[in-house]
Structure 1
């Protein structure tokens, strides 16, 4: 059940010599990518282990549900493991959420890193245990996609208690979506499709929160419209304090499609979100794009649309 109103739980920050476990709750990574990810984290003075089933294959997922869940619960239960970094997203995390050992998670909280399909895991940890998480790069590391700035941002998020400040990027499509104001509240969210599919199945209360949304194009504008309309109609967004929009990628050619009536992704976002009557800050360069920042999920956050900033407290203590 959801721990509505419970106190936020901050896992301890990592220190040199701490053990990090890589797991695959969704799809399998490449061996070269994991080798590079291990190398990056070891350069920070951390020890790194790779879960038994990380490279397994079962359909499009990294092994059976039971095996993926076993790796994840083993990492949560092992007192030597001080952080969990997911290997990649894709599909499948939603299938194993119900089997998580929430008692072990609450007894020994540790930061979980990932995004995209791993949003399901972040939402479950917040709803059931109020444990903060880290929206950050996967262990399936690519220097071309992530790079040194992404690596340093992740290191600081895991190994320091510095706040994270992100600025609106006018080159992001969602920068054109704004409702003026300042809002405060815990930052909750991630991938829009993952959040939408959690409505009615464990999505935590968003009352008093700031909702972070990012998305990668699948079937078109309609999927974003349906997702936001479903969330609004469910009452899940009642009491929301504000919205932060990250990257909504793959919609660049929509305006030239005659079947869309001249609408772009910004038209859908503006039409739906302005009805909430809360501050909306678009243009935060976070999501499925290159050189991703790291964003704490769960700690207090502030959005200021005039300054164009999102400020989030550390996810670790």
Structure 2
């Protein structure tokens, strides 16, 4: 049976920590003020505002603070400060025994993909692919994607409509949604956190990657057998993709579509998630229905039901 963290109630405690790259303290304090206005109590960890090379703090400090928040049964959600790099350096030293007794929502994206995949593959507990403190600013606080985090914390239904993309492969599928940042997913291939991809809907996004490297990473997932087992593929943003002096000849989306052309599952491009302002909250590790025709929608399935995949026939 799925061990789903409890949804938040007014007065619940939310922890903020920076387990990867550094972030200025006022960024965390502004986000904490927004969360307080939503009716929650907030505890900001010391790593928010610390600076140690590229990291917020040395490995043992970042790990220790995250461990404390994982262990604390009073904390009902952890909102990470930002991504960057660093989770992979501490993930294997974390003890999740107390977390399994008192599961809480782990909320973030980018480098937090390492934690999402570890928790899904090893523990089977859902997490949230969402904005972090760095995405809650004076310019975004009223935006619907910020509001989406509050609604999911409250237990609101996840049912997003989004425009159909010309490259979409149409169809309808059902499967457990997992994934996140493509670079991190590739790095996890072959590790103990590598997921079973059978009948999953895979979410991928990335930022600042050279196009040839996107091709290489997709080839890695293909050769590892991740793609052939999927129920569906959901593409978020591929922001600021880069070219070398010699053009690769395809866009990021075209590269990805080429790597899955031999499979029949539905593919949806342009879901508003990833390294961009429009970063809507998604519950990872639970079943969804994905429809890639006009209009496209992604809907969390709240009742257990058998899988009914409707894939287009390959020509």
What TM-score results when the alignment is normalised by the length of structure 2? Answer: 0.90
Higher relative contact order (CA 8 A, sep 6+): 1
1:194 matches 2:189:
no
Aligned ranges 1:116-195 → 2 under 5 Å: 116-140=110-134, 141-145=136-140, 147-160=142-155, 162-169=156-163, 175-195=165-185
Query: Which residue of the partner structure matches residue 288 of structure 1?
Result: 275
Q: Is the 8 A contact 1:167 1:284 kept in 2?
A: no
Q: CA offset at residue 121 of structure 1?
A: 0.7
How far, CA to CA, are the matches of 1:212 and 1:68 in structure 2? 27
**Unmatched 5+ residue regions in structure 1?**
1-6
How far, CA to CA, are the matches of 2:248 and 2:152 in structure 1? 43
1:14 matches 2:2:
no
Would you identify which runs of 4 or more consecutive aligned residues in structure 1 move more than 4 Å?
Answer: none
1:203 matches 2:203:
no
Spell out, residue by residue over 1:295-314, the C-alpha distance to the aligned partner (whole angstroms, 9 max, x if none). 11111111111131111257
Query: Which residue of the partner structure matches residue 216 of structure 1?
Result: 207
1:298 matches 2:285:
yes
Q: CA offset at residue 262 of structure 1?
A: 3.4
Q: CA offset at residue 32 of structure 1?
A: 2.0
Partner residue of 2:265 out of 274, 278, 288: 278
Query: Which residue of the partner structure matches residue 26 of structure 1?
Result: 20
- The alignment partner of 1:176 has SS state of coil
1:310 matches 2:259:
no
Aligned ranges 1:31-110 → 2 under 5 Å: 31-110=25-104
Spell out, residue by residue over 1:100-131, the C-alpha distance to the aligned partner (whole angstroms, 9 max, x if none). 21212211110011001111111111111111
Structure 1 residues 35 and 95, CA, compared in 2 at 3 Å: closer, same or farther?
A: same
- The alignment partner of 1:154 has SS state of helix
Q: Is the 8 A contact 2:117 2:179 kept in 1?
A: yes
Name the one with the larger helix percent: 1
Query: Which residue of the partner structure matches residue 111 of structure 1?
Result: 105
Q: Is the 8 A contact 1:40 1:151 kept in 2?
A: no
Q: Is the 8 A contact 2:111 2:184 kept in 1?
A: yes
How far, CA to CA, are the matches of 1:71 and 1:116 in structure 2? 20
Spell out, residue by residue over 1:7-48, the C-alpha distance to the aligned partner (whole angstroms, 9 max, x if none). 422100010111000011111222221111001100111000
Q: Is the 8 A contact 1:33 1:139 kept in 2?
A: yes
- The alignment partner of 2:246 has SS state of helix
Q: What is the alpha-carbon root mean square deviation over aligned residues?
A: 1.8
Q: Paired residues, what number? A: 299
How far, CA to CA, are the matches of 1:32 and 1:54 in structure 2? 9
Q: CA offset at residue 190 of structure 1?
A: 0.7
Q: Is the 8 A contact 2:23 2:50 kept in 1?
A: no
Query: Which residue of the partner structure matches residue 305 of structure 2?
Result: none
How far, CA to CA, are the matches of 1:274 and 1:146 in structure 2? 40
Q: Is the 8 A contact 1:187 1:312 kept in 2?
A: no
How far, CA to CA, are the matches of 1:18 and 1:78 in structure 2? 13
Query: Which residue of the partner structure matches residue 313 of structure 2?
Result: none
- The alignment partner of 1:49 has SS state of strand
How far, CA to CA, are the matches of 2:220 and 2:37 in structure 1? 44
What TM-score results when the alignment is normalised by the length of structure 1? Answer: 0.89
How far, CA to CA, are the matches of 2:43 and 2:266 in structure 1? 42
